[in-house]
Amino acid sequence: MKSKIWVAVGLIATTAAAITASAASTNVTFRTPASFEVVIQDEAGGKPSYGFQGYIGADLVNLALGTDIGTVRTNELLALEVACDSSSAELVVFDKAGGSNLVTIATSSKITVVQQQDNPVTAFPDRERFATEMDIAAVGSSSNALLSGFLDVAGRLFLNPTNGCPRAVRVDTDRKQDKECGDPSAVTDTNDKNVPKDVAKIAGRGHFHGAFSAVIAGQTNTVVVPDGALSIDRLLATTP
């Protein structure tokens, strides 16, 4: 009898380990509209001055792809790729036609999460709040590019209670602390509105600040980002 019990326990432990290993090796990518204020170093009368501008995620996409800010794109999107064990995250340019990432904009150098499990009988928590430090990559062209910098990003994600992986849901049930945590919805990008109403399209929310150097229309700029918002929404891809 005891041997049968130990066999059963061993099978359960092996299965749980396999699920955890599988989740840890999987990445999920979500469409992530962004809106943020920037302060660019400007000049007035030969003296330094502030230059205030409003950016959206498509502006980062254009800089990363080496094209002018304001270029209308119907295929490439700003997206957040997250490891299913929440050990890493990247901001990327996602190619809808090819179903894959084109360019990595920023990569997490450190990430910390706290989690909430609403149902005690499920295998994994239902949601998490995260904070991550991200390094901006050198990408783009000689006329439009991101050169270097950082973004500090914090926010929340829904998790699949069967495997712990971030997921999108149809109804956002986790707005209660958004105001206290500074997680407003971002301005929606204009190139991806034709999404069926029954698609699960809320994965989380986030906010960020930071700074970066960029070549904009052929001129190198120092850019401070005092405040930004991310709307982490529908699932774009799952990759091993």
Per-residue pLDDT of the chain (240 residues; tens, 9 = 90+): 444 433 333 333 333 334 444 455 799 999 999 999 999 998 899 999 999 999 999 999 999 999 999 999 989 999 999 999 999 999 999 999 999 999 999 999 999 999 999 999 999 999 999 999 999 999 999 999 999 999 999 999 999 999 999 999 999 989 888 988 988 887 655 555 566 666 778 999 999 999 999 999 999 999 999 999 999 999 999 998
- Containing H/E element for 141? none
Give the integer Cα–Cα distance in Å for 123 and 105.
Answer: 33
pLDDT of residue 10: 35
Distance, in Å, from the CA atom of 31 to the CA atom of 82, rounded to the nearest integer, reads 12
Cα-to-chain-centroid distance, residue 22: 21
- pLDDT tens digit sequence for 103-120: 999 999 999 999 999 999
The 3-state DSSP class for residue 157 equals strand
